[in-house]
Chain A
Amino acid sequence: MANPAPASTKGIAITEHRLANGLRVVLSEDHLTPVAAVCLWYDVGSRHEVKGRTGLAHLFEHLMFQGSANVSNNGHFELVQGAGGSLNGTTSFERTNYFETMPTHQLELALWLEADRMGSLLAALDDASMENQRDVVKNERRQRYDNVPYGTAFEKLTRLSYPEGHPYHHTPIGSMADLDAATLEDARAFFRTYYAPNNAVLSIVGDFDAEQAVAWVEKYFGSIPAHDGKQPPRDGTLPEVIGQEIRELVEEEVPSRALMSAYRLPHDGTREADAVDLALTVLGSGESSRLYNRLVRRDRTAVSAGFGMLRLSGAPSLGWLDVKTSGEATIEQIESAVDEELARFAAEGPTPQELERAQAQIEREWLDRLTTVSGRADELCRFAVLFGDPNLVNDALAKVLDVTAEEVRAVAAARLRPDNRAVLVYEPLATADADSDNAEEDAA
């Protein structure tokens, strides 16, 4: 039997508009469920931060929930939840997003709220909010990174993978010292620089009338002035391969030895990025992957073994290997098995069955992301902000399915090699699970 494709990959109907102040608007109607998702991407993330102010983009995102000219402190949460909606915001390397999913009849409220803070946040922002959210974010950092085993692994790997001074050298959560150093004036300057209609994309997906939605967007956002204070982020381009293995040993109270490596990969949006995504899926995603079969099933040296991919458009993407050892297995055993598997894959590439499975897995993940209106709204913003055209969402899956086995082999041979990785080795100090592949931070 053939491998029939899921039916709903047929495409999302999209219309686009642009207000005079530069705000891009992307709409997609879907009347199956009486809900509508609003998503707003600001083209600013931790890569725009400067030395000494890491974590500012994320701290600022928290401040966006502290009220604006017509909205009280925490009014966003009160009003949206009180209307039967859900909301949040997240900050990553490359963007900051804010989103509300509303029952259809409350869509206008979400637009009014987003417009109010885009146009008037500074009318409400004060020291009390700043001091309070600084403490909240520091506790977020402790909870998600500092107080859990291996919690700072991602931060360490990022630091090793992107050189000092590179815009992706630090992660969105920032350092405690920089969080302490941020001032109210920093936050105001950040808002004035990056929070402008011409630096944002607004998407609305779900059960609404497009003409009505455009009229509301024009009404609420249309008078917010554009401004041009934004400097482009520092150049994130790096050579295709690192050129030598970078290594760090961490001796901490962790429950078991662990090997984590980050490989430098092609930029998101390229055919090579899709090819390497397939390679990582064959090698390290799910229980039929090569590394799982080798390390967990056959050698029994690992409890878990897998690859993840952090797609980045403004710098090389990261392919992240995470292996936790089983019993007394050593890092040397794990590492030589991993290198053997990578070398074999670089020589032979995926089998036709492996490629088919990897493509089916990616297809399912894609379907999963597009199954909700909020997931679709986020993807529309992603393609509009990072690649200039929301319609690219409709070709994304076909591109992955078009990649050949030889392309997968070639990119693995070029990138998944020892001289193109940063390696983090954990050795337990005494006795001491939480993985932290969090490339983004939430407001709540």
Chain B
Amino acid sequence: MSTFVPTMTFHPQPQPGTPTPWAFPAPTRSVLANGLTVLHCNRPGQQLVAVDVLVDAPLAAEPTELEGVATVLARALNEGTDTLTAEEFAGELERAGATLDANADHPCIRVALEVPVSRLERGLTLLADALRSPALPEDEIERLVANRLDEIVHEQANPARRAAKALHAELFDSADRLSRPRAGSAESVKRIDRAAVKAFYDAHVRPSTASVVVVGDLTGVDLPALLESTLGSWSGDRAEPSKAAPVTADDSARVVIVDRPGAVQTQLLIGRIGPDRHDPAWAAQVLGTYCLGGTLTSRLDKVLREEKGYTYGVRAFAQPLRSAADGSGRALLAISGSVDTASTAPALADTWTILRTLAAEGLTDAEREEAVQYLVGVAPLRYETAGSVASTLADQVEQHLADDFQAEVYRQMAVLSTQAATDAVVSGFLPERLVTVLVGDASVIGEQVRELGIGEVTVISS
């Protein structure tokens, strides 16, 4: 092999300058006359204002036979008001250069508006109308129901979506809402009509149990007056906030193969339940999970991608499911990625080896240091836009966390020991408590996966 002698002049790797102090922004709280809780945060320079409304309409509140009704309601909020038809409403939003997205998840319905600050009043007026008096037109509801039925067919064909559906069905108790698709099954969605959507709206959409987060360049904006004249016109009775039921799941080790004959890759989703953000070890778990599978230099990708080339990338993460102020909530801990079909069993074997080695030897101080530098150091970047700040503040409200939660996570992380991060990730990803879902060609991978001994294998059709 020939050698290449660069002709450039090399200099030593530069040393960093002095860091500029940065802290996660603290929101200011207030309450409108109608009971709506407001959190706002001024971010100079951010001309696109993010407004996130959290409506206390959890999926667990859906009637079992009508699951999907929260999703249809969320989507219907965009379909016209007492003064605008669906087409007019969409047109008015676009004229304001605004977007309005609503979706229903386990904790609540979240409605997110993004609008240039110069048109904030118009954006807030449309948002308020959508919440206050949505038309919920019969024909549009029918269409949204039909669209959801079509969407289910598409989700079924997507390997990542299919894997998530299978994991939820396997992991959670069948009585728990978490075991079933967020947006409902074909059987339940078919039953949804305007009356069902209206009833769900009447029962759960009210300002007194809702919160709104407003973030952006609010310099010169009289926000209290603006909010009173827009979202303040939304009225409703008072009600007790909903209470989240504990998560019920069985994460004893087992394997489910969702058979996709001829698939060129296997989608992996390996998960269990673990502590949520209320747990004192949350920051340590975030740190440890990053070292396991947060980036392509983490333990999983170092082997699976950068040494073996089995995958474009595998990630480990924790995703809160349902949280409560008393700390009884849980998160999904998972490893996710896809590998070429022939590498399925070898990739799983390596994953289990990585987990066992981690448990036996722990993280190194260098790994911990690099992870802290990244997770804490990247915060100013991660929270550069109004939308990202609003979204994290909304997560905190939704999960019943203190307003300084994220700021506190950064403070804790900076001083966490390597041992604490090791303990959290090792107890989080115990090999004997992992439910493995594989979406791939069972005739090719089934036997080899059985031989791994990572749990009893069941094959289901896709």
Residue ranges of A at the interface with B (Cβ–Cβ < 8 Å):
1, 3-8, 30, 32-35, 69-70, 73-74, 77-79, 81-86, 101, 103-106, 108-109, 112, 115-116, 119-120, 122-123, 126, 131-140, 142-144, 146-149, 207, 216, 219-220, 222-225, 253-256, 286-288, 293, 296-297, 300, 303, 324, 326-327, 353, 356-358, 360-361, 363-364, 367-368, 371-373, 431-434, 444
Give Cα A82–Cα B14 distance, bound, in whole angstroms: 14
Q: Which residues of A contact B422 (CB under 8 A)?
A: none
**23 A-B contact pairs sorted by A residue (CB < 8 Å):** A5-B118, A6-B119, A34-B380, A74-B302, A83-B16, A103-B22, A122-B6, A138-B340, A139-B338, A140-B312, A146-B264, A147-B267, A148-B158, A149-B157, A288-B94, A296-B147, A297-B87, A357-B95, A360-B97, A361-B97, A367-B48, A373-B384, A433-B154
A139 to chain B, nearest CB (A): 5
Query: Residue among A35, A120, A147 with the most chain B CB within 10 A?
Result: A147
Given contacts A84-B376, A433-B158, contact A326 B47 (CB under 8 A): no
Binds A, one of B191-199, B201-209, B303-311: B303-311
Q: Which residues of A contact B44 (CB under 8 A)?
A: 32
**B297 in the interface, Cβ–Cβ < 8 Å?**
yes
Q: Which residues of B contact A140 (CB under 8 A)?
A: 312
Q: Mark B327-341, 1 if CB is under 8 A from A, else 0.
A: 000000000001110
**B351 in the interface, Cβ–Cβ < 8 Å?**
no
Chain B count of residues within 8 A CB distance of the other chain = 87
**B86 in the interface, Cβ–Cβ < 8 Å?**
yes
Give Cα A138–Cα B18 distance, bound, in whole angstroms: 42
Q: Which residues of B contact A222 (CB under 8 A)?
A: 9
Given contacts A112-B11, A255-B156, A303-B151, contact A82 B374 (CB under 8 A): yes
Contact B8 A119 (CB under 8 A): yes
Q: Which residues of B contact A1 (CB under 8 A)?
A: 122
Contact A83 B373 (CB under 8 A): yes
Which of A85, A324, A357 has a CB less than 8 Å from the CB of B154?
A324
Contact B309 A77 (CB under 8 A): no
**5 residue pairs, one from A and one from B, having the closest CB atoms:** A84-B377, A135-B309, A433-B154, A119-B8, A34-B20
Give Cα A82–Cα B374 distance, bound, in whole angstroms: 5
Contact B305 A136 (CB under 8 A): yes
Residue on A with the closest CB to B294?
A: A81
Give Cα A363–Cα B115 distance, bound, in whole angstroms: 11
Residue on B with the closest CB to A80?
A: B374
Contact B4 A122 (CB under 8 A): yes
Interface residues of B in 58-97 (CB under 8 A from A): 78, 86-87, 90-91, 93-97
Contact B339 A85 (CB under 8 A): no
Give Cα A324–Cα B311 distance, bound, in whole angstroms: 30
Contact B20 A132 (CB under 8 A): no
**B313 in the interface, Cβ–Cβ < 8 Å?**
yes
Give Cα A300–Cα B146 distance, bound, in whole angstroms: 9
Contact B13 A143 (CB under 8 A): no
Contact B97 A363 (CB under 8 A): yes
Contact A371 B381 (CB under 8 A): no
B349 to chain A, nearest CB (A): 17
**B153 in the interface, Cβ–Cβ < 8 Å?**
yes
B61 to chain A, nearest CB (A): 27
**B98 in the interface, Cβ–Cβ < 8 Å?**
yes
A28 to chain B, nearest CB (A): 13
Contact A69 B6 (CB under 8 A): yes
**B263 in the interface, Cβ–Cβ < 8 Å?**
yes
Residue on A with the closest CB to B440?
A: A147
Which of A7, A103, A356 has a CB less than 8 Å from the CB of B19?
A103
Residue ranges of B at the interface with A (Cβ–Cβ < 8 Å):
1, 3-11, 13-14, 16-20, 22, 44-48, 78, 86-87, 90-91, 93-99, 114, 116-119, 122, 140, 143, 146-147, 150-151, 153-159, 161, 263-265, 267, 295-297, 302, 305-313, 338-340, 369-370, 373-374, 376-381, 384-385
B368 to chain A, nearest CB (A): 11
Q: Which residues of A contact B10 (CB under 8 A)?
A: 69-70, 116, 120
Q: Which residues of A contact B263 (CB under 8 A)?
A: 147
Q: Which residues of A contact B20 (CB under 8 A)?
A: 34, 103-105, 207
Give Cα A78–Cα B298 distance, bound, in whole angstroms: 9
Give Cα A6–Cα B119 distance, bound, in whole angstroms: 8
Residue on B with the closest CB to A118?
A: B8
Which of B1, B13, B90, B96 has a CB less than 8 Å from the CB of A112?
B13
Give Cα A148–Cα B6 distance, bound, in whole angstroms: 43
Q: Which residues of B contact A431 (CB under 8 A)?
A: 153, 156-157
Residue on A with the closest CB to B338?
A: A143
Give Cα A131–Cα B385 distance, bound, in whole angstroms: 39
Residue on B with the closest CB to A144?
A: B312
B194 to chain A, nearest CB (A): 16
Query: Residue among B3, B5, B98, B306 with the most chain A CB within 10 A?
Result: B306
Given contacts A7-B117, A353-B91, A444-B313, contact A287 B78 (CB under 8 A): yes
Give Cα A357–Cα B94 distance, bound, in whole angstroms: 5
Contact B11 A219 (CB under 8 A): yes
Which of A7, A86, A444 has a CB less than 8 Å from the CB of B296?
A444
Contact B47 A371 (CB under 8 A): yes
Query: Residue among A34, A137, A224, A255 with the most chain B CB within 10 A?
Result: A255
Contact B309 A131 (CB under 8 A): yes
Given contacts A360-B94, A371-B385, contact A220 B11 (CB under 8 A): yes
Q: Which residues of B contact A33 (CB under 8 A)?
A: 45, 380, 384
Given contacts A136-B312, A361-B94, contact A367 B116 (CB under 8 A): yes
Contact A105 B370 (CB under 8 A): no
Q: Which residues of B contact A106 (CB under 8 A)?
A: 16-17, 377
Q: Which residues of B contact A432 (CB under 8 A)?
A: 157
Q: Which residues of A contact B306 (CB under 8 A)?
A: 73-74, 132, 136
Query: Residue among B3, B17, B381, B385 with the most chain A CB within 10 A?
Result: B381
Q: Which residues of A contact B385 (CB under 8 A)?
A: 371-372
Given contacts A139-B311, A326-B147, contact A255 B154 (CB under 8 A): yes
Contact A32 B116 (CB under 8 A): no
Give Cα A74–Cα B384 distance, bound, in whole angstroms: 26
Q: Which residues of A contact B265 (CB under 8 A)?
A: 139, 142-143, 146-147
Contact B90 A84 (CB under 8 A): no
Residue on B with the closest CB to A138?
A: B340
Given contacts A3-B95, A122-B4, A148-B158, contact A136 B309 (CB under 8 A): yes
Query: Residue among B87, B98, B153, B305 with the most chain A CB within 10 A?
Result: B153
Q: Which residues of B contact A103 (CB under 8 A)?
A: 19-20, 22, 377-378, 380-381
Residue on A with the closest CB to B310?
A: A139
Contact B146 A327 (CB under 8 A): yes
Q: Which residues of A contact B22 (CB under 8 A)?
A: 34, 103
Contact A81 B146 (CB under 8 A): no
B171 to chain A, nearest CB (A): 24
Given contacts A77-B296, A288-B94, contact A6 B116 (CB under 8 A): yes
Contact B8 A115 (CB under 8 A): yes
